Structure 1
């Protein structure tokens, strides 16, 4: 049997990985290929999984740890997708706060499962809102040097870097980001794309279709700094049910929740890495998100529906204590629902700081060879 093309697209929290994965999936399906998707999170109830499944994709989720620390779950999840109908392509979206993925995921897949997977070049999406601040060394970059260390290392190990949201940036801003990436990660090709509009995706697909000497940028990584940088983020996944005696506009509710959090987190001087809320009802789904503290909350996917009942999921990744984050999310949810006479029942909340990464496998530079 022919091997499955395995494509992993990395990037920092809020870089646009899910939107990119969805557009790639549609592109491959239009070529007559079967596509499977694997999402990844430190906890269950991931907005990205709900979003992709709501678009009709076959999605497996690796929850509880990143791909590198839960490598066996990654391979077993891909096997389950295979059982459901052998995919030609598997698209994988790793946790946005992870790095060292070439040594702990790409190379182990190549060396241990080379007969099963044909691994594509590893692309990393640059998040412009934090990229400019972190790479230019601004004093108010939003994250500590330890968290910024992760951001920079993600670029360093990439086979190519994608500057996303090109449709929202001027030529001057795109040129500046290209220069900053080149100074941080010399000799790494840079491509400008828009996951929202599809600009640049033809060239992106050409890059992904290449075969050759890829996935060899093994990092010289300080795991103490890496672990401390991840642990600075408060991590929250919350699922809840909203009901009302009269209809409410689902999109307005989820956007209001994100807006209220944007304001309260800014008042607490807590930098947002990413914040997502999805609302689901009877085949309809809407998504609102916030990608940084200095950007606006947006309705990234409209449900265009009114309902008396909906399931909501909130994911928040913020530089703040997890208990304080949970308190702020609960307050925003209750205030937004209360303003519409909507009753809310919180079914589950997971709030924590990520633990120290302990990879299942790690291929060293000496093992890889010169």
Structure 2
């Protein structure tokens, strides 16, 4: 996306350094193969490409790691990607975030990496493994209810249903909004518990939930699980849910309209034209 824009619209746009946020568990699972993975090899291939195309690799969740493990993972990433900036942050606690933002706002040209070799068959198989679900849901009740407990319970029930179907989680995340405040809940694999962050909320009677899921399931199965679990948890909390929008699918085979195989500078020039 970035390089065709640089070529055709370089006078209108300037790219900041491009960051890829890295989960420590995914590094150990997909990059180092230190932990068991339920994903096929193609997912590790795609993960590697996502790391390779970044200008900055941002190792997140360091608040959950021992200092020695942070140092080890940073060292591993530095060794494998010596041309990248490697940062370690805690988005939850704010540690390292200022340094990251300073780089993004420095004016340094970004989106400088071109993936000259991509196996689109492997890429497509990796994406097709996951069902993708996006949903917008309105939640209301005649009584006050604890929204954080509702969403956390929803995530636990979804996790258990995915386990029964042997559907590994790529990611499961949500944002709940009410009265101008928001909190977030996310879950990154079947072995973890939901993590909540954001603004604390008292009990309330209504709000909206945006749900985003990437799960190793057929889209029809994924959609049915989400609808069934949402209905069951809503009944338990005595709340009403109205799905304003829900899309569930597997991505089509990638067919990029432009392929750029040489790095494009901020002035829009490349040694090789668009193919």
| Fold match (TM-score > 0.5) | yes
Q: Which has the higher contact order (CA 8 A, sep 6+)?
A: 2
Match of 1:27 in 2: none
The C-alpha deviation readout for 1:65-104, integer Å capped at 9, x for no partner, is xxxxxxxxxxxxxxxxxxxxxxxxxxxxxxxxxxxxxxx3
State the alpha-carbon separation in 2 of the partners of residues 332 and 269 from structure 1: 16
TM-score, normalised via structure 2 length: 0.87
The answer to whether 1:143 aligns with 2:34 is no
Match of 1:161 in 2: 57
State the alpha-carbon separation in 2 of the partners of residues 205 and 244 from structure 1: 40
CA contact (8 A) 2:131 2:250 kept: yes
Match of 1:369 in 2: 271
The C-alpha deviation readout for 1:209-253, integer Å capped at 9, x for no partner, is 445675332111111111111111101112233332211111111
State the alpha-carbon separation in 2 of the partners of residues 266 and 184 from structure 1: 33
CA contact (8 A) 2:22 2:60 kept: yes
With 240-249 and 148-157 compared, the bigger mean Cα shift is at 240-249
Deviation at 1:297, TM superposition (A): 0.4
Which of 218, 240, 243 is matched with 2:114 structurally? 218
CA contact (8 A) 1:250 1:286 kept: no
The answer to whether 1:232 aligns with 2:129 is yes
State the alpha-carbon separation in 2 of the partners of residues 297 and 366 from structure 1: 40
CA contact (8 A) 2:92 2:197 kept: no
Deviation at 1:196, TM superposition (A): 1.9
State the alpha-carbon separation in 2 of the partners of residues 215 and 278 from structure 1: 28
The C-alpha deviation readout for 1:137-182, integer Å capped at 9, x for no partner, is 2462232111111110111122221111122211222123223323
Q: 1:213 to 1:257 in 2, by over 3 A?
A: closer
Match of 1:336 in 2: 233
State the alpha-carbon separation in 1 of the partners of residues 206 and 109 from structure 2: 52
SS in 1 for 2:136: strand
Deviation at 1:304, TM superposition (A): 0.8
Match of 1:208 in 2: 104
Match of 1:310 in 2: 207
| Bigger radius of gyration | 2
Match of 1:22 in 2: none
Which of 224, 232, 240 is matched with 1:327 structurally? 224
CA contact (8 A) 2:15 2:109 kept: no
State the alpha-carbon separation in 1 of the partners of residues 248 and 263 from structure 2: 39
State the alpha-carbon separation in 2 of the partners of residues 319 and 198 from structure 1: 31
State the alpha-carbon separation in 2 of the partners of residues 305 and 234 from structure 1: 34
What's the Cα RMSD here? 2.3
Match of 1:90 in 2: none
Deviation at 1:346, TM superposition (A): 2.9
CA contact (8 A) 1:276 1:290 kept: yes
Which of 146, 149, 164 is matched with 1:252 structurally? 149
Which of 5, 8, 12 is matched with 1:116 structurally? 12
SS in 2 for 1:236: strand
CA contact (8 A) 1:231 1:353 kept: yes
Unaligned runs of 5+ in 1: 1-103
